Chains A and B, each alone.
Chain A
Amino acid sequence: MHDKTLTELAAGLAAGEFTSRELTEHLLARIERLDGTLNSFITVTAEQALAAADAADAARARGEAGALTGVPVAIKDLFCTEGVLTTAGSRMLADFVSPYDATVVERLKAAGTVSLGKLNLDEFAMGSSNENSAFGAVKNPWDSRAVPGGSSGGSAAAVAAGLAPAAMGTDTGGSIRQPAAFCGITGLKPTYGRVSRWGIIAYASSLDQAGPMARSAADCALLMNAIAGHDHRDSTSVARGVPDYTEELAAPLAGLKIGLPREYFGDGLAPEVEAAVREAVKVYESLGATVREVSLPHTHYAIPAYYVIAPAEASSNLSRYDGVRFGHRCKNPSDLIDLYKRSRAEGFGEEVKRRILIGTHTLSEGFFDAYYKKAQQVRRLIRQDFLDAFEEVDVLMGPASPTPAFDLGANKDPVAMYLQDIYTIAVNLAGIPGISVPAGFAGGRPVGLQILGTHFAEPRLLNVAHQFQQATDWHLRRPELAEETA
């Protein structure tokens, strides 16, 4: 049951092959058995999950089931969940029980899904390896020496390991697409503003976007139908009609124009990754697509611009964690400054502090124009690169990451780690959607093909990804977990 896609599970539930309770119990047992090693969950909400499963089964018995009724999912622990621990992977919020639900959580509940619990992540979504979690690193189900990627590392690992058929992630600089690539699953980062940010603990507000992580593009489409749409509580959420994301999945690709950005196939790209991506492109050609090279000339400025904008926003977004109204508070503060400084020093981990310091420095008097304003100007140039490219082609394709998953502990240098996100970060700066789909292996570790589209082109991206998955079976491969074979 745990190897099935969300689409298959939904069909099984609808056909009465199994109940939501049976499915949920099966997955909870798997989590219990396997997650001790993987560490993909921070909180498992078994009791609530079973109650939700029973409610879903009852709704189905009454004939009130929707497309996702009774389907289990798990949630990155960056989404606020009412009455459930919501930690953001930080010691700062180790005891924080949210008094309200994020819009995405609310919508998933309304769709009848069953939440299994909260998934591990890099602290406050800052990281590319999930090693920055106060709740310990997550292991890659394909190779326990490898990282699952980040920051939605727990989400990717749980789906890849068959602990949950789908998970919610967030993506600020690649945090859905890179871990999806590293763990061999499908992850969609929607257009900025397509999914509400209400209730998602903010990292960098102008870049953060939530999206589905699952076993197939069709699964992501089903989940998008549940979560996408305008939310009056989020000023940056777009008031624009929501299509049925499953509708275009089957459209043939003949005539599709694919662009390969020259800059995405340059120095630093692992040959095996490049080979897998070029192989995938050939599959598209066989499906009737045409391929040409394009240029995104400002690509190399994306990481510098991102490391001004994201830390600046983060430094401000994280000021609310001051030990006064919620979150960690140091013992016996001698005065107000001591309360602030010690609570924050104790509550935040190293990477979070690094980004707060960088953001604080670059926003300081005398530096604002040289850093922040400059980065915003560059941001416009980067977005224009994409808009220009989409004048010529329908989608862009390239690797999601220059390498497959690296070893735990291998990347000690923060700057080297940042540079790994070269293919994902510009997408957030431009606000366009991107999806990573499994496209092979390199040294036994999955490789992800990244497909990018223009603003609100999610239906097209899902269609292009789905057609690839009809022609290949990379997305159906499952890791052999040591505990299972033992």
Chain B
Amino acid sequence: MADTIEVDGKQFAVDEEGYLANLNDWVPGVADVMAKQDNLELTDEHWDIINFLREYYEEYQIAPAVRVLTKAVGKKMGKEKGNSKYLYSLFPYGPAKQACRFAGLPKPTGCV
């Protein structure tokens, strides 16, 4: 994994696992570029989760573990979205880990 990713001609520092080094650097283009690297095309459904994670972080100062994310999504968006099958269909590398990375958050706390 490179130490930086390029978004709209600008370099963004990332850690060894590809998570954005500085949360405040994040722009939506970061998610697009990271998704492309993972061979994903981001849809509105992906963005709902990415934005949800950013709001969650803003409120609780933490990137939630996958179980916690699933539960919280269910509470906010309904049980048809708050289940791991749906979330894995969007983020095949793990809804918390991959979506948190796209959202510019650190690696989720409690994901082993």
Do these two chains really belong together in a complex?
Answer: no
| B residues neighboring A (CB under 8 Å) | none
| A residues neighboring B (CB under 8 Å) | none
